[in-house]
Amino acid sequence: MHSSFENRRAAGCELATRLDRYAHKNDVSVLALPRGGVPVAFEVARALGAVLDVLVVRKLGAPLEPELAMGAIASGDAFYLDERIVDYAGVSRRALEEVIARERIELERRERLYRGDKPPLDVDGRIAIIVDDGMATGATMKVACMSLRNARPSRIVAAVPVAPLESEARVEAIVDEFVCVLRPRHYFGVGQFYADFEQTSDDEVRDLLDQALKP
């Protein structure tokens, strides 16, 4: 088993092979978690012949440890908070509210930037495949799935190239299926499994979304 993916798009090609039962069906939507999930999801959507959209999610990072997710927020007012992590990081209510307010502003900025005035994809009664470039705490994927439940898809599939061994348990209550390529025993972070883990830019996100709209 290889230890890493060349880059996010290569990871998306590999992930797509695990989702081939959803190929060329007319009721499948692929939803990317920006920014890093977009190059992965672009390749998945292309391989499956499915429509692509973004589901904007913002991690609520602890003030002194921004990579430590206390929870997440998503489009459609979905909100998830892990009180254990808030306590562990010693974050006051006021500091928490400041993080939430700041991330809400960024969420709205990204929605406008990526989608403009286009409404979100209608996934009512459809199979929704939510794609990110990997999972760590699972907070981002969890809140994305919670957000999507309100849109009444027939099935929610969480799909990532890499996740820790125990990650499925973190989302299994709110997804119908969890698909993952690599499940390493030793896991320090998503970037560890990519040769190229450069940050995805807003311009790249918009470019890929525009390309996905072309027949």
102/190 same-domain check? no
CA 20 to CA 195: how far, in whole Å? 25
185/157 same-domain check? yes
Residue that terminates a domain, selected from 114, 131, 148 = 114
CA 99 to CA 87: how far, in whole Å? 15
Residue that terminates a domain, selected from 93, 114, 135 = 114
Task: Using DSSP bridges, classify how beta strands 28-32 and 51-54 pair: parallel, antiparallel or unpaired.
Answer: parallel
101/127 same-domain check? no
Residue that terminates a domain, selected from 72, 90, 114 = 114
Report pLDDT digits (tens) over 66-104: 888 898 888 877 788 889 999 999 999 999 999 999 999
pLDDT of residue 129: 98
pLDDT of residue 3: 58
* 3-class secondary structure per residue, 161-191: EECCCCHHHHHCCCCCEEEEEECCCCCCCHH
45/65 same-domain check? no
- Identify whether 178 is part of a domain: yes
- Identify whether 101 is part of a domain: yes
89/144 same-domain check? no
76/172 same-domain check? no
103/156 same-domain check? no
CATH number at residue 178: 3.40.50.2020
- Identify whether 81 is part of a domain: yes
- Identify whether 169 is part of a domain: yes
Contacts of 96 (CB under 8 A, 6+ apart): 60, 70, 86
86/151 same-domain check? no
101/42 same-domain check? no
Segments of the chain scoring below 70 in pLDDT: 1-3
Task: Using DSSP bridges, classify how beta strands 177-182 and 155-162 pair: parallel, antiparallel or unpaired.
Answer: parallel
- Identify whether 3 is part of a domain: no
CATH number at residue 83: 3.30.1310
pLDDT of residue 42: 98
182/138 same-domain check? yes
Count of structural domains, the chain = 2
40/72 same-domain check? no
Largest Cα–Cα separation, the chain: 50
Domain of residue 99 covers 59-114
CA 92 to CA 208: how far, in whole Å? 39
- Identify whether 2 is part of a domain: no
The identity of residue 140, as a single letter, is T
